Structure 1
Amino acid sequence: MVQALVVGGTGLAGRQAVKEFLARGHSVRVLSRHGGAPGTAIEHFQGDLVTGEGLAEALDGVDVLVDTTDGKTRGTRSVLETGAKNLLAMADGAGVGRAVLLSIVNVDQGRFAYYQAKRQQELVYKTSPIDTWIVRATQFHDFIPMIAGAASLTGVFPAFTKTSFQTIDTRDVAHALVDVALSTERAPDDPITIGGPEVHTAHELVAKWKRATGKRGFVAKFPLPGTLGKFLREGRNLVPDNQFGTITFDQWLAESAR
């Protein structure tokens, strides 16, 4: 039985990775900034990746760690590079045998700040003495309601023009993360790339979400400006040859409605 640590284990992908480890009969603990609720069956550790506080305790006796941390805002972005340096230095000293990082498809081709920060996080992992795997995934199914839901009170649901997504379920992402965490092989030089089972336009996905939720309003097409808009219009967020997920957006919507 492997002792795993999921860093960011209270987030979307992290929660599913915890469940996947448990389903395969392994022991798992969670590291997060706020710890976990008392009385739960899973060990929760409170720690700060930027200051290093609490990391030694969380890593004690760990065989493999899975890092699902995020930092989309300017205020939280330091957790990616600085946090990775602190985490991996502590993990190496604790004798952790493998580290797995969740990243984003073609993150090295994005020129906007968030992708550049994620790329720096990847580079920290690549230079670690620990056997390190990087799994790059397409956007989660949850990405669509995050965009459309924010505007739901206005009755107008934005759908980016000339843009498609290959969204993936976080359970499929967790399956891939745990697969490599438990692999008997050494990490390859290049990241593992995974995408969802289908490609849909942004308009199709937002319209599906609107119907499933019963929201009132209309789906309006808007161009997304800037480097992110260019990245998406060029299809750099898609990996049609690397379909890994099996749970479609429609299935996820049906389950979410229930």
Structure 2
Amino acid sequence: MTPRTRTLVTGATGTLGNALRPRLLEAGHDVRAASRSPPSADDNDVEWVELDVLDGTGLEEALADVDVVIHAASAPRGDSEAVDVHGTERLLEAADDADVENVVYVSIVGVDEVPLSYYEHKRRAERAVEDSSVPSTVVRATQFHSFVFELLETVARVPVWALPTQFRIQPIDVGEAADAILEYATREPSGRVPDVGGPDVRTVRELAAAYRDATGVRRPIVRLPVPGSTAAAFRSGTATCPDRTVGTTSWEEWLGGRLESAAER
């Protein structure tokens, strides 16, 4: 009888971590979920542990007897160098000591082409994973629908929406991204694997217009000129992977479901 895979998920309370946990359980994994602030409620199916990759607190305990790590912890709005680069290096060192069989690192499409500091830190983390003696898998995904939604929510009440309308992105449902990542949560590492993207490449104008129509908010959308190489990269679509349309849920479908769920609360 094949033993159950013992899988640690870092960043387990985040958007991706929340989607991964039930899918791993359904696939038969023994799941250990790590967070700086794990929930206090009992969970008979998931073992929660406290882990802070910033200073390494809890690393040895979190990795004890673990076969696979899905490293989803990240700090897009914080100190990404400390968390994504140095935190990943600490995790890899501890994973090597613990004889982990596969570290699955979740990255972002375009990190090697978009000169944004957060993306550059994700790319440095990728290199650390690739150069480590720990067997590994690196999977890049495009932005989640929920990320786009949160950004548009921040401008929803502004009289005029000044947006980088020509930016091109390829949003994906986080559950569909989690399904794709789950395929690599095995004892056998896969190295760098094909990108994971949503069903369509869309401009920010198109996404904002669909949000406006769905919410009934009547606001003019105007183009915000954004200079620089980072903006140029987003306009040219370097953060997309049109040949890897893994997800099937469109922005409009996801948005309709999100608004319907909110109305039922």
Aligned to 2:121: 117
Q: Distance in 1 between matches of 2:139 and 2:23?
A: 16
156 and 28 in structure 1: CA distance in 2 versus 1, 3 angstrom threshold:
farther
* Cα shift at 1:183: 6.8
The 8 Å contact of residues 67 and 102 in structure 2, kept in 1 or not, is answered as yes
The 8 Å contact of residues 194 and 244 in structure 2, kept in 1 or not, is answered as no
Q: Distance in 2 between matches of 1:16 and 1:74?
A: 22
The 8 Å contact of residues 223 and 229 in structure 1, kept in 2 or not, is answered as no
Helix, strand or coil for the counterpart of 2:48?
A: strand
- Map residues 158-177 of structure 1 onto 2, 5 A cutoff: 158-177=162-181
> Could you report, residue by residue, the CA deviation over 1:128-177 in whole angstroms, capped at 9, with x for unpaired residues?
21221111111111222222211222133343232222111111111111
Q: Residue 235 of structure 2 aligns to which amino acid in structure 1?
A: R
TM-score by length of 2: 0.90
Moved more, 54-63 or 149-158: 149-158
Is 1:10 matched with 2:50?
Answer: no
The 8 Å contact of residues 139 and 167 in structure 1, kept in 2 or not, is answered as yes
Aligned to 1:229: 231
Helix, strand or coil for the counterpart of 2:157?
A: helix
Aligned to 2:263: none
Aligned to 1:97: 101
Is 1:135 matched with 2:131?
Answer: no
Q: Distance in 2 between matches of 1:213 and 1:29?
A: 38
Aligned to 1:179: 183
Q: Distance in 2 between matches of 1:38 and 1:256?
A: 26
Helix, strand or coil for the counterpart of 2:195?
A: strand
- Map residues 51-62 of structure 1 onto 2, 5 A cutoff: 51-62=55-66
Moved more, 90-99 or 217-226: 217-226
* Cα shift at 1:227: 2.9
Q: Residue 20 of structure 1 aligns to which amino acid in structure 2?
A: R
Q: Distance in 1 between matches of 2:12 and 2:29?
A: 15
The 8 Å contact of residues 7 and 67 in structure 1, kept in 2 or not, is answered as yes
> Could you report, residue by residue, the CA deviation over 1:57-89 in whole angstroms, capped at 9, with x for unpaired residues?
111111101011222245343111110111111
> Could you report, residue by residue, the CA deviation over 1:94-136 in whole angstroms, capped at 9, with x for unpaired residues?
1211110110112111222111111111111101212211111
The 8 Å contact of residues 49 and 62 in structure 2, kept in 1 or not, is answered as yes
The 8 Å contact of residues 161 and 224 in structure 1, kept in 2 or not, is answered as no
- List runs of 5+ in structure 2 lacking aligned partners: 261-265
Aligned to 1:155: 159
- List runs of 5+ in structure 1 lacking aligned partners: none
Q: Say what the alpha-carbon RMSD is for the aligned residues.
A: 1.7
Moved more, 207-216 or 2-11: 207-216
Which residue, out of 220, 237, 252, partners 2:222? 220
The 8 Å contact of residues 149 and 157 in structure 1, kept in 2 or not, is answered as no
The 8 Å contact of residues 102 and 187 in structure 2, kept in 1 or not, is answered as no
Q: Distance in 2 between matches of 1:69 and 1:158?
A: 31
Helix, strand or coil for the counterpart of 2:223?
A: strand
119 and 205 in structure 1: CA distance in 2 versus 1, 3 angstrom threshold:
same
TM-score by length of 1: 0.92
Which residue, out of 180, 199, 202, partners 1:200? 202
Aligned to 2:47: 43
Moved more, 88-97 or 221-230: 221-230
20 and 158 in structure 1: CA distance in 2 versus 1, 3 angstrom threshold:
farther
Moved more, 130-139 or 143-152: 143-152
183 and 245 in structure 1: CA distance in 2 versus 1, 3 angstrom threshold:
farther
141 and 11 in structure 1: CA distance in 2 versus 1, 3 angstrom threshold:
same
